């Protein structure tokens, strides 16, 4: 089954404690992206990757890092999380320019 898998689904942690949210897709997609969803703001893009070792900032990249060492994986790293990063995060992938994105089920992060 074609899917985008995120882990963990839920995480409560404390300010300053580094965390990583993993994202993996099994569709051999070149494009992957991370979004955060906040009430009243819709989804905002954090980072995206056009291919292995190619990443670029989205609209709200501050406080986040990503890496793309393999085509299937695109982890999101919060080096020093802060409460304003409490949000619902989605990973997505797409097969190419203009193709619709496939979304994971989301990761709800709470930073205390």
Site residues for other proteins per CB under 8 A: 4, 31, 33, 35, 40-45, 48, 50, 56, 58, 90, 92, 94, 96-106
State the nearest-atom distance from the C-beta of 58 to other proteins, in Å.
Answer: 7
Residue closer to other proteins by CB (options 3, 15) is 3
Q: Which two tokens stand for residue 37?
A: 């969803």
Q: In what order do the strands lie in the sheet with 4-7?
A: 4-7, 19-25, 76-78, 65-66
Residue closer to other proteins by CB (options 11, 43) is 43
Find out whether 34 and 45 touch, Cβ atoms under 8 Å. Answer: yes
State the nearest-atom distance from the C-beta of 106 to other proteins, in Å.
Answer: 5
Find out whether 5 and 24 touch, Cβ atoms under 8 Å. Answer: yes
Residue closer to other proteins by CB (options 72, 108) is 108
State the nearest-atom distance from the C-beta of 81 to other proteins, in Å.
Answer: 22
Residues 64 and 59: their CA atoms lie apart, in Å, by: 12
State the nearest-atom distance from the C-beta of 80 to other proteins, in Å.
Answer: 27
Residues 23 and 74: their CA atoms lie apart, in Å, by: 5
Residue closer to other proteins by CB (options 75, 104) is 104
């Amino acid at each position: 089954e074609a899917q985008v898998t995120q882990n963990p689904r839920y995480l409560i942690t404390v300010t300053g404690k580094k965390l990583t949210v993993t994202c993996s897709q099994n569709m051999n997609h070149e494009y992957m992206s991370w979004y955060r969803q906040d009430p009243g703001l819709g989804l905002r893009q954090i980072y995206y990757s056009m291919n292995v070792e190619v990443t670029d900032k989205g609209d709200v990249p501050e406080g986040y890092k990503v890496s793309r060492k393999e085509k299937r994986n695109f982890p999101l790293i919060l080096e020093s999380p802060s409460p304003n990063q409490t949000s619902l995060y989605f990973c997505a992938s797409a097969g190419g320019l203009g193709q619709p994105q496939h979304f994971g089920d989301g990761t709800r992060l709470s930073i205390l």
